[in-house]
Amino acid sequence: MRSEKEMLDLIIKTAEEDPRVRAAYLEGSRVNPNVPKDIFQDYDVVYVVNETKSFREDRQWIDRFGERLFMQYPEDSIYFSSDVENCYGWLMQFTDGNRLDLHVSTMKAVQSSLEIYRILVDKDGILPEAKPASDEIYWVKKPTEEQFYFTCNEFWWCLDNVAKGLWREELPYVMDMIHLYIRPMLTRILEWKIGRDNNFSVSVGKSAKYMKRYLPEETYKRYLLTYSQAETEAVWDAVFIMCDLFRQTEEELAEKMNFHFDAAEADNCRAYLEHVRKLPADAREIYES
């Protein structure tokens, strides 16, 4: 596996020798001081150019970076909108284990995306001087009371769909409802707890991947238990763990941040879930008259 020095030397040398490349910078985890270093870190590189067409038309120019195991042209995807005239990329997994996410971008595209970066090459002095590396822009943001209310309401309300889906044994629907609508609310409120406990000066990372660093061990273990196999009783068990964890966290946050929370809504929702779980498969009414 090529070392970081070998990879960066190659990336810099390519930029220096290609007159189309006017500047180059490294971004992503390798310039974020709070990201642990490991063998899976990508090289997120941007070459600043005046045009992207010549790069797009030459499919072989990336061969210089190494033998590829597999790759993706993200801007060519039919599922995502893109502006290939101003930004085009190659995501490359090499046979030696390294991965390079390389984009050629015009200054028009670059100006709207500069965050944490390290300048590698700047032939014309066009890149702003990079500030000392900090992940402050990713820190958990302090919620407003309105954001808190709607997050809580969304969590409890969407569980109604999970309940009917479990009764109907529509497990694909149930799993989507949990992971697309309910889990994001649980994750968000736990992020707010982490933020509150750390003066809103930490980042939990993409998809809350650093949550383990900041939550009490028992809380983190409970959170992991909310992931279940797609089996009806296992999902019910996970749902009630989610309910307990969310209710505990919303009450704690409400008290510490002087927010109002609707205890009746949470209690009524949980009681409804318990009722539906016991409802016979041949029930003709949800509640008997």
Domain tally for the chain? Answer: 2
Are 33 and 94 in the same domain?
A: yes
Does residue 286 fall inside a structural domain? no
Structure confidence at residue 11 (pLDDT): 98
Are 174 and 77 in the same domain?
A: no
Does residue 175 fall inside a structural domain? yes
pTM of the model: 0.86
Does residue 283 fall inside a structural domain? no
Structure confidence at residue 34 (pLDDT): 84
Domain endpoint, select from 102, 133, 164: 133
Are 13 and 48 in the same domain?
A: yes
Tokens found for residue 258: 């002087």
Are 97 and 196 in the same domain?
A: no
Does residue 284 fall inside a structural domain? no
Rounded Cα–Cα distance for residues 117 and 23 (Å)? 13
- Profile the chain (289 residues) by mean pLDDT over runs of 10 residues: 97 98 96 90 97 95 97 93 95 98 96 90 94 84 97 97 96 97 97 97 93 96 96 97 97 96 94 96 88
Domain endpoint, select from 94, 117, 133: 133
Does residue 27 fall inside a structural domain? yes
Are 122 and 206 in the same domain?
A: no
Does residue 52 fall inside a structural domain? yes
Does residue 174 fall inside a structural domain? yes
The CATH number for 156's domain is 1.20.120.330
Domain endpoint, select from 133, 154, 171: 133
Residue 174: which residues within 8 A CB-CB, separation 6 or more? 162, 165, 166, 230, 235
The CATH number for 45's domain is 3.30.460.10
Structure confidence at residue 232 (pLDDT): 96
Are 125 and 180 in the same domain?
A: no
Are 13 and 56 in the same domain?
A: yes
| Domain span holding position 78 | 4-133
CA quadruple 161, 208, 264, 235: dihedral, nearest 10: 40
Rounded Cα–Cα distance for residues 94 and 250 (Å)? 45
Are 153 and 97 in the same domain?
A: no
